[in-house]
Amino acid sequence: MIPSDLLMNALTYSNMLVLMSLGLTFSYITLKVPNFAQGDFIAIGAYIAYTSYIFWNLHPYLSIPSAFLISGGISLLMFLFIFSPLSKKGFKVTDLMIAYFAAEMIIRSALLIYTDYMQRTFSKYFSNILIPLNQVRVGDYSIPFPLLISSILTITILFSFLIVLNYTKLGISLRAAIQNPELAKTYGVNVERVYAISWFLAGGITGMTGPVIVTFFPTDPNIGWTFLVRIFAASIVGGIDSLLGAVIGGFFVGISEVTGIYVLSQPPIGLQPVYRVAIPFILMIIALLFMPRGIVSSIDRAIIRLREKK
Amino acid sequence: MNFLGITDPIRFTFDIVNFFLIYSMLSISMNLDYGFAGIPNLGKVMFFAMGSIVTGALSLRLLSVISGVQLIDFVTQNISYSMTISVWLSQHPFISIGVVFILVALSAIISGLMGLLVSFPAIRLKETYLAITLLVTGELLRVIASYYPPLIGGTVGTHIPDFFSWVGIGRIHDATLILFIAAFTFLSYYISRILVLSPFGRIMRGHRDNEDALSSLGKDPTYVRSRTLFISSAIAGIAGSLYAIYSGSVNASDFIPDKTFILSLIIVIGGMANVNGPLIGSFIYIMLDRIIRQVKFYITVPFDVNYLSIGIMGIILLLFFFFRPKGILPEKPIILKFQPVPKEKNNES
């Protein structure tokens, strides 16, 4: 029997994975290159929350809007000044990936310098940070605060996307620009602006998880790498170019990682919990072998096949 | 004598030369993948790690069978075992040479096979999937190497006996070791040169430039990728093995993805798809890195200068992409020495 603590943990973790992979999808659909700096937005968000917690005693969850704006802004700047010019110069996907890698190094270097500087100047603990929070009582149940906030965030974001993408002009032009940039241009959609918005959202949504992560998971500037593996796994399992895929993949990978390692670390197998990163990895390999375009497109294809048979 | 924090200039030079040789080998391997064949091998460090792990995990075990030194507790006592075995090896030069060649060969083969194996799930897919798979597999290998102590001692690492203790100690020993590594560097340079000038080299460039055109000419892109990955991973495995032998220890914390990034930086600086590019690029990178590390003796900053290093490398790479995308030595056009003579049509009427 899986204890309820573990399920709550798994749910918090999956909520955050969903948001992170949504972010990855938003940047992937523009230039068709996975953004390796995606994980670093988490660290940026986490450090914004931690800094305001330490200096102004601000509750970490009150920093979620500023984390959204700042990491979204950094993501937008990256797009406007690095990736958009490079892709216009005719760099191929392979080269763009290396450029993304370079951007990731610059951000991580800045974060490492920031933490080292803060630690030396203010003699406060800045690496491996965790802000402990109390549980929230809802009626008779006590719910961990991170679970509550991450669920609210995920549901709000998903609903607002559902509305924006289906019923507003911005959302429709976004979808058009992503599906067929040339055709969208002829219809007068400013593709460049749409891509910029997409990149802002990509950084912002992932950055928003930072303040939640810092209350849930010990964080240091290298946390981007820790999560990048899971983000990629979730995106590939769900389907890297679909927003629904990010949601499905995030929940699938998150829940199977947390519950899977719990089951595997129990007596009959007794695996050490540090190997939990192997679970998203194995899921990713299975997905690549059997449904390389993700769960969503496999379901789509199955539906099409069924219709054809009828 | 203490100049810029260097106490022993000769030792310092040896270290630089050794780093240059190892990085040259690794970037030659990266150039085959990324420069010539256009495979975004973002898991290059994994093959380097594999070579080091094979060497670290097998050297003591193999030698304990040969020398009769019992390994009772490999994980915590490996430093004393490696010292005992080093002393034993100083009496047995032929065994030392034999074992070191076996280890390097094993590292090459295992890394090469790993290249084939890893490329298998994503090999039929687009390059983005291949890059992600390679990157993630590299991280997985690092996690396993750090948390599974029997392999290479977990987070503390493992020691490797000195295979050149029979030469003597001091400068002559270090010089022999450098020569040994240089021989392999030259070998891998030569292999890459032959490979690139061969018909397969042209197929590799074809794969990079236009995969569809390549398959329309009857060449299978999957075959190109797996074969390139096998050769380049074997070279990276040799580099990892030699690095472990030179430094006398293996530590899983060396295998971070930043190394892969540094290798792509070297390729971009030196010149993509130019056989001499990796050598120039490695030289410039090593010099830059050493300068940044020595600068901290002049200026005082309230943070660790090493953190600045990776940021500067990232900026340099982007600057090269913007202003000199072909690198210092641009790719040379293919010139066939023996132009195939077109057959004259005899039965023209």
Q: What is the pLDDT of residues B114-163, one digit of tens each?
A: 988 887 765 566 778 888 888 888 888 888 888 888 888 777 788 888 88
Residues of chain A positioned with their CB less than 8 A from the CB of B318:
82, 99, 102-103, 106
Residues of chain B positioned with their CB less than 8 A from the CB of A105:
258, 261, 310-311, 313-314
DSSP structural state of residue A274: G
pLDDT for position B349 = 47
Shortest Cα distance, chain A CAs vs residue B58, angstroms: 23
**Rounded to an integer, what distance in angstroms lies between the CA atom of residue B283 and that of residue B302?**
29
Residues of chain A positioned with their CB less than 8 A from the CB of B30:
none
Bridge partners of residue A129, in order along the sequence? A219
Q: Does B125 touch chain A (CB under 8 A)?
A: yes
Q: How many CB atoms lie within 10 A of CB A297?
A: 17
Asked if A86's CB is within 8 angstroms of B322's CB, the reply is yes
**Per-residue confidence at B1, pLDDT binned at 50, 70, 90?**
very low
- Which tokens belong to B94? 């032929």
**Rounded to an integer, what distance in angstroms lies between the CA atom of residue A189 and that of residue A199?**
17
pLDDT for position B29 = 93
DSSP structural state of residue B6: B
Average pLDDT in the A166-182 region? 84
Q: How many CB atoms lie within 10 A of CB B44?
A: 29
Summarised one tens digit per residue, pLDDT across range A13-23 is: 899 999 999 99
Q: Are A204 and A75 in contact (CB under 8 A)?
A: yes
Summarised one tens digit per residue, pLDDT across range A230-281 is: 999 999 898 887 888 889 999 999 999 988 888 888 777 777 777 888 888 8
Residue B50 pLDDT greater than 80, yes or no? yes
Asked if B303's CB is within 8 angstroms of A85's CB, the reply is no
Asked if A113's CB is within 8 angstroms of B307's CB, the reply is yes
Q: Are B49 and B138 in contact (CB under 8 A)?
A: yes
Q: How many helices (H) and strands (E) does chain B have?
A: 13, 2
pLDDT averaged over every residue in chain B: 84
pLDDT > 70: what percent of chain A?
Answer: 99
Average pLDDT in the B339-349 region? 57
